[in-house]
Structure 1
Amino acid sequence: MSRSRVTVVDIARAAGVSKSTVSLVLQASPLVNEATRAKVNAVIRELGYVYNRGAANLRQSASSRIIGIIVNDLTNSFFAELAVGMDMVMQSAGYVQFLSNSAESVDRQREVVASMREHGISGLIISPARGTEAADLKPLAASGIPVVSVVRNVVGAKVSSLVSDNYAGAKAAVAHLVSLGHSRIAFLGGIANTTVFAERVQGWRDALVEAGFEAPDMLVIGSTASRAGGVAAIERALSLPAPPTAALCFNDAAAFGVCDGLRAAGREPGRDFAVVGFDDVIEAETAVPALTTVSVDPQGMGRRAAQLLLKQINTGKVEPEAIVGSVRLVVRQSCGAGEKAGRMSA
């Protein structure tokens, strides 16, 4: 191989790592473990590669109108709507978006962040994958790249955050179900190791306790926050010795699955069982029955996150701000508000 033509791709192939990992090694990033760093450096020496930092800086300067956006799951319409909201603001401000889907993988997220940094992003909006730690975001802040964490907060990361009032939303939803005559209300869907899950479950629990009802752990049934996860959760809920008559679901995707599972069990959502979601995605209003849900306005959230990032870019100040967005309960047919409560509580 001619040394004058050795590229980062050649090094990555020879070392058995990704191009982004090689870039991190060249940037002396702390995100790379020592064993991998040593292996990559050995290949660099063997192939005689010389890192042209001036050219790298020039590439970054030329790409200064690029914004990085990382979301958890683009198959979930909530995140698609969130990205649309960001695009509305960024496009009008003359920025190009570099959009990626982490699929809830921290490793994948690190690779994407490294690649985005290599392309000279001006800022990053990220909905952190489960398991993201402050150390994953601190290098960005330390390098002066503005970061906005949206949907989920990462404790100790010292970056700006925009989240929903998950606790208040869950409390309002459960209080509404209680007003319809329900006392055995489940919390269905979601994975336990996120702050969003913890906040929503706490709101569910406190609302039941304040109403004078029990909030047993057996009624908290976690699953993937997806339609399939909702189906699995309602199947488990209906198999309990004393099954619930209503449920607050972790998100709308799980709520749609709960409705599917209820029909498979011969029960009609909104008539035989009350269902409430969380998010208020576009499909919620047109679903049959229309889904009662806690609205966080995903597109609006995306716009606010983009505006917050642009503020930091334009002022040149990376000063963390923590914003908690208000939510509201949107009552439709799936909770049975138009039915006699006794039909579902019997």
Structure 2
Amino acid sequence: MSRERVTVIDIANAAGVSKSTVSLVLQGSSLVNKTTRAKVNAAMRELGYVYNRGAANLRQANAKSKIVGMVVNDLTNSFFAELAVGIDSVMQSAGYVQFLANTGENIDRQREVIASMREHGISGLIISPARGTEAADFAALANAGIPVVMAVRNVPGARVSSLTSDNHAGAAASVAHLAKLGHRRIAFLGGFPDTAVFTERFMGYRDALIDAGLDFDADLAIGAAPSRAGGVEAIERAMRLAVPPTAAVCFNDAVAFGVCDGLRSRKIEPGAEFAVVGFDDVIEAKTAVPALTTVSVDPQGMGRRTAQLLLKQINSGAAEPEALVKSVRLVVRQSCGTGIQGGVR
């Protein structure tokens, strides 16, 4: 194979890695481990590939386009689908096209899709970071002058803009409502404890228990995947406690739906015999049976605000990062019933 015909895809196939990984090696990125880097370099030597850095730099200089990247950590969660709709409505009006990628909480996948998006000359990036993302993961983007806005999740120390919800206030309002209904054993269910969002919502839950004069029982705080399946798992563990809860503040609506599924499998009717509160207020929350009491984040509105923040960064060229916190409100529906005296045990 002649040198002129060797491509990045040829190298990726020879080394058994993705095209994006080869690109990271060519860029000298520290995100690729030594073993993989060695495999890629060996494949390049064997194929006789010569990297034309001058041409690559010229491509990058001319690559600024009306394209933005959108990377989310869990597209199976309807919250992120609604967030993406909000982002698209603003970006489309501004003449931009979005590249959407789902990482499934895989940090290596996240690095690869971002590298691939950079190859296509994105003008900016909106990202809900995967678990394990570090501030250093954004350094290459900053050095390349690519604006970044983090949505939903934040990464401590990252010098990029962010838009998050008031997680502490939302969880606190949920507990206050349940305490007012007469509940004394209130669980906090779902979510990955190693994320900032979990910490903020959990702290809101714990602080509100103290404010309501209730004891904090660590056994009632049960982490699980922030998904419907995670909700089923969490409520199963909660109901096996010696003294089970009578109500639950859930990490998000997906977990809340799973909690309702798990309760029904035990012949316990949510809303009538057990109170459930979600977090997000996705479209399904209004039509669920029973309709879900939840903290409204307004996913589409959050997406629109995130897109506006990115456009501001793109248009200004070198704007200082902004950290915005969106207010939330508790929407009371049927999943909490009318309290201990009104039917919920």
TM-score (norm 1): 0.96
Q: Which residue of 2 aligns with 1:182?
A: 183
Preserved CA contact (<8 Å) 1:284 1:290: yes
SS in 2 for 1:341: coil
Conserved 8 A contact 2:295-2:331: yes
Distance 1:99 1:296 in 2: 22
* Residue of structure 2 equivalent to 1:90: 91
In structure 1, the partner of 2:42 is 42
After superposition, the Cα gap between the structure-2 partners of 1:201 and 1:344, relative to the gap in structure 1 and judged at 3 Å, is farther
**Shift in Å at residue 29 of structure 1?**
1.7
Partner residue of 2:119? 118
What amino acid does structure 2 have at the position aligned with 1:50? Answer: V
Deviating above 6 A after TM superposition, structure 1's stretches of 4 or more consecutive aligned residues are none
Matches within 5 A, 1:65-80: 65-80=66-81
Q: Counterparts in 2 of 1:237-276, with a 5 A limit?
A: 237-276=238-277
Return 5+ residue gaps in structure 2 as ranges.
none
Aligned mates of 1:344, 1:320 — CA distance in 2: 50
Write the deviation string for residues 285-343 of structure 1: whole angstroms up to 9, x where unpaired: 0111100000111111111111111101001014211011100000001011xx35325
Give the Cα separation in 2 of the matches to 1:18 and 1:85: 31
The whole-number CA distance in structure 2 between the counterparts of 1:55 and 1:97 is 26
Tell me what 2:147 maps to.
Answer: 146
Matched residue, 1:6: 6
1:1-346 equivalent positions in 2, closer than 5 A: 1-57=1-57, 59-60=59-60, 61-62=62-63, 64-336=65-337, 339-343=338-342, 346=345
Post-superposition CA distance 1:236-272 (Å, at most 9, x none): 1111111111000000001011111111111111110
Give the drift of 1:22: 0.9
For residues 344 and 10 of structure 2, what CA distance do their matches in structure 1 show?
A: 66
How far apart are residue 53 of structure 1 and its match? Answer: 3.8
**Which whole-Å CA distance do the structure 1 matches of 2:110 and 2:84 have between them?**
16
Gaps (5+ residues) in structure 1? none
Tell me the matched-pair count.
344
SS in 2 for 1:266: coil
Contact 1:68 1:98 in 2 (8 A): yes
- CA-CA distance at 1:65 after TM superposition: 1.1
Once the two structures are superposed, residues 90-136 of structure 1 have per-residue CA deviations (whole angstroms, 9 ceiling, x without a partner) of 11111110100000000110111111111111111000001111111
> CA deviation digits over 1:140-187, x for unaligned, max 9?
112211001111111111111111110010001100111111111000
User: What's the offset of the Cα at 1:54?
Assistant: 4.9
1:50 and 1:64 map into 2 onto residues whose CA distance is 27
Amino acid corresponding to residue 341 of structure 1 in structure 2: I
1:340–1:251 distance in 2 versus 1, CA, 3 Å: closer
- Helix, strand or coil: the match of 1:334? helix
1:345 is displaced (CA, Å) by 6.0
Question: Within 1, Cα distance between the matches of 2:14 and 2:238?
Answer: 52
Paired with 1:37 and 1:264, the residues of 2 have a C-alpha distance of 50
Asked if 2 retains the 8 angstrom alpha-carbon contact of 1:292 and 1:334, the reply is yes
Q: Which moved more, 1:62-71 or 1:112-121?
A: 62-71
* Preserved CA contact (<8 Å) 2:275 2:344: no
Distance 2:10 2:205 in 1: 53
How far 1:33 sits from its partner (Å)? Answer: 2.6
Post-superposition Cα deviations, 1:182-236, rounded to whole Å, max 9, x if no partner, equal: 1110001111110111111111111011111111110011111111111111111
Contact 1:71–1:101 (CA under 8 A) maintained in structure 2: yes
Secondary structure of 1:288 counterpart: coil
CA pair 194-344 structure 1, distance change in 2 beyond 3 A: farther
Where 2:224 maps in the other structure, the secondary structure is: coil
Whether the 8 Å contact between 2:166 and 2:325 is mirrored in structure 1 is: yes
**More deviation, 97-106/311-320:** 311-320
Give the aligned CA root-mean-square deviation in angstroms.
1.5
Distance 1:72 1:26, change over 3 A: same
1:44 is displaced (CA, Å) by 1.9
Separation in structure 2 between the aligned mates of residue 162 and residue 301 of structure 1, nearest angstrom? 8
**Identical aligned residues as a percent:** 75
The answer as to whether partners of 1:274 and 1:344 remain within 8 angstroms in 2 is no
Q: 2: distance between equivalents of 1:316 and 1:192?
A: 36
Q: Could you tell me whether the CA contact under 8 Å between 2:285 and 2:291 is conserved in 1?
A: yes
In 1, Cα distance between equivalents of 2:339 and 2:201: 27
Q: Distance in 1 between matches of 2:212 and 2:250?
A: 19
